[in-house]
């Protein structure tokens, strides 16, 4: 059996799972575990500042095809941060659980650099990276137009 672990639940992770499933032999004994801090299955991130912010879509509306996560042997661990990797022991830690892997992929992308400066205190500053960010900003802007 080959156990593949992927850290990250963005388009890179999604594309990799799709490719692995396409390339695998019919009888291959393969498991794929995808760990993502996000609460949503992989989605089209460019839609975060378009479909969600401008049109009020939801994370489900902008999801990438989720059928691959129904494939036997493929597990999507939502809301699960990987906090440690032991490359020698071939283990990773997510929450209180230790997972064994044969191959590990980092598809962790990037996050916004959070500004920690005094002049920001009390100001209404938003970051735009996730559906939650965009929804919060949209609600704030709609609130302003209603005021
Ligand atoms: C608002 C916005 C609009 C964009 N628009 C465009 C565009 O129009 N055209 C374009 O080409 N590009 C665009 N980009 C850039 C593009 O979206 C990124 O290049 C792309 O999302 C990168 O995909 P990724 O899978 O590598 O990483 P990401 O999308 O960053 O995904 C990484 C994932 O890893 C997870 N993760 C990180 N660390 C851990 C951990 N320790 N444990 C578990 N999970 C973890 C994160 O939660 C996240 O789900 C945009 C980006 C943003 C933010």
The average pLDDT across 90-97 equals: 95
HEC assignment per residue over the chain = CEEEEEECCCHHHHHHHHHHHHHCCCCCCEEEEEECCCCCCCECHHHHHCHHHHHCCCCCCCECCCHHHHCCCEEEECCCCEEEEECCCCEEEECCEEEECCEEEECCCCCCCCCCCHHHCCCCCCCCCCHHHHHHHHHHHHHHHHC
pLDDT of residue 66: 84
pLDDT at position 147? 63
Instruction: Please check the confidence at residue 82 and state whether its pLDDT lies above 80.
Output: yes
| Residue 37 CB–ligand 1 contact under 6 Å | yes
- Ligand 1: distance of its center to the CA of 139 in Å? 22
Domain boundaries, the chain: 2-146
Nearest alpha carbon, ligand 1 atom 45: 8
Q: For residue 45, report the distance from its CA to the centre of ligand 1, in Å.
A: 6
What top-level class would CATH report for the domain 2-146? alpha beta
- Using the predicted structure, report yes or no on whether residue 26 has a pLDDT greater than 80: no
What percent of the chain is modeled with pLDDT above 70? 99
Ligand 1 atom 5 nearest Cα = 46
């Amino acid at each position: 059996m080959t156990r593949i672990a992927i850290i990250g639940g963005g388009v890179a992770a999604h594309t990799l799972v799709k490719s692995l499933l396409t390339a695998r032999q019919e009888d291959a004994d393969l498991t794929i575990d995808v760990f993502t801090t996000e609460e949503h299955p992989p989605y089209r991130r460019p839609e975060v500042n378009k479909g969600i912010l401008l049109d009020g879509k939801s994370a489900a509306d902008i999801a990438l095809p989720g059928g691959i996560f129904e494939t036997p042997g493929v597990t999507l661990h939502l809301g699960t941060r990987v906090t440690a990797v032991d490359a020698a022991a071939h283990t990773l830690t997510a929450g209180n659980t230790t997972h064994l892997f044969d191959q590990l992929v980092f598809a962790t992308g990037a996050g916004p650099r959070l500004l920690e400066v005094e002049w920001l205190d009390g100001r209404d500053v938003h970051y735009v990276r996730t559906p939650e960010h965009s929804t919060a900003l949209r609600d704030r802007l709609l609130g302003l137009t209603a005021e």
